[in-house]
Amino acid sequence: MKLTTPYLGLQLKNPLIVGASPFSDNLRSTQQLEEAGAAAIVMRSLFEEQIDMEQRALLHHIESPAESTAEATSFFPAYEEYQLAPDQYLRQIGELKRHLSIPVIASLNGYRPGGWTDYAARFEAAGADAIELNLYQLVTDPEISGDEVEADMLETVHRVTDSVQVPVSIKISAFHTSPTQFAKALENAGAAGVVVFNRFYQPDFDIEELDVQPQLKLSDSSELLMRLRWLAILSPHLTRSLAATGGVHTTGDVIKALLAGAHAVQLVSVLLKHGPRILTTLLTGLHDWMQEHGYESIDELRGAMNLQRCPDPAAFERANYQRILQSWRI
Ligand SMILES: Cc1cc2nc3c(=O)[nH]c(=O)nc-3n(C[C@H](O)[C@H](O)[C@H](O)COP(=O)(O)O)c2cc1C
């Protein structure tokens, strides 16, 4: 049975990728993940703001980049709060490449065109097999239109893809007015793949202190459903790679994402909860399910439930929304 899958022009030994997270900071952890079956690893992100801070500091010959942190960036972490400085990040790529045999995907995180995108070429020179560009943005300024935001994002993608030979995937949010059009535009801008979707960490209110509390809750399988729908919708329209991130916790979740059209699935919360060995359980479950259902390869099952091929395409669309609301009786 063939568990191999093409992703970003790389041939992965199976569809399970470790998603961007702190796992990549620690060589021993990454080795355990590889031993347990991970087919590739995405490193934690290097952020636009972090690179900008360092570049400004270099420009003004300031000793510590923290001293260059202007008022405008005071909402962001201070320079020293980032886990890896840009030069450490480059060294970490080299370290992982020396000790792992699976592909190492370095991650950049930002959305406005700027000098920070130069780091894509540095990632490549340091040995990264691919780059994941996370376009995370949350627009609160009422003067900025969706078109402007997407134009900046596409320009950023152009800059990154033009500056490297290695494949570049783009991790996007679900909150685009027309995600399919945007995903196609990303491919036209040179993206080798699209990763759906960014998870937005929702802050809570403390009603005693009247304070807003940032929090990081790990996901569960319910978060996969929105991704499944969009994987199924995007899959017939995109010509390159698709990956799921968010809410993949069980063998069933992995199979669903592949049936919806994903070439690969990224895992973070499930690994933080259960440790690397859960990968082996998921892979065995995938193998057994494929055997039981007569699939010889991942290629055979990929997209079998996408919008084009599923028996009831209306279930993904507005028609089903109406049907569900109308079916509720008091
Ligand atoms: C502790 C932690 C750190 C993360 N760091 C990054 C990051 O640096 N860059 C990024 O693109 N995503 C980051 N993510 C998001 C994950 O890559 C992933 O998209 C998200 O957790 C959803 O997948 P999951 O449901 O498997 O956890 C992080 C997630 C966690 C929990």
In whole angstroms, what is the distance from residue 267 CA to residue 38 CA? 10
Q: How far apart are CA 240 and CA 119, in angstroms?
A: 24
Quote the mean pLDDT of the chain: 93
Confidence of residue 63 (pLDDT cuts 50, 70, 90): low
pTM attached to this predicted model: 0.94
Report d(CA 184, CA 180) in Å as an integer. 6
Using CA atoms, how far apart are residues 139 and 145, in angstroms rounded to an integer? 9
Rg (CA), the chain: 20
Domains in the chain: boundaries: 5-327
Name the CATH code of domain 5-327 (choices 2.40.70.10, 3.20.20.70, 3.40.50.20, 1.10.10.10). Answer: 3.20.20.70
With a 6 Å cutoff on the Cβ, whether 44 touches ligand 1 is yes
H helices present in 43-145, as ranges? 48-59, 86-99, 119-126
CA atoms within 13 A on the CB side of 322: 4
The pLDDT assigned to 70 comes to: 46
Place of tokens 């909402």: 75
Q: How confident is the model at residue 214 (pLDDT cuts 50, 70, 90)?
A: confident
323: pLDDT strictly greater than 90: no
Could you report how far apart the first and last alpha carbons of the chain are, in Å?
50
> How many CA atoms are closer than 13 Å to the CA of 223, on its beta-carbon side?
21
Q: Which of 267, 228, 262, 220 is nearest to 245 (CA)?
A: 267
The letter for the amino acid at 16 is L
Residue 108 CA, ligand 1 centroid: distance in Å: 13
CA of 32 to the centre of ligand 1 (A): 19
User: What pLDDT is attached to residue 72?
Assistant: 45
Q: How far is the CA of 16 from the centre of ligand 1 (A)?
A: 15
- Does the C-beta of 19 come closer than 6 Å to ligand 1? yes
- Both tokens of residue 95? 């370290």
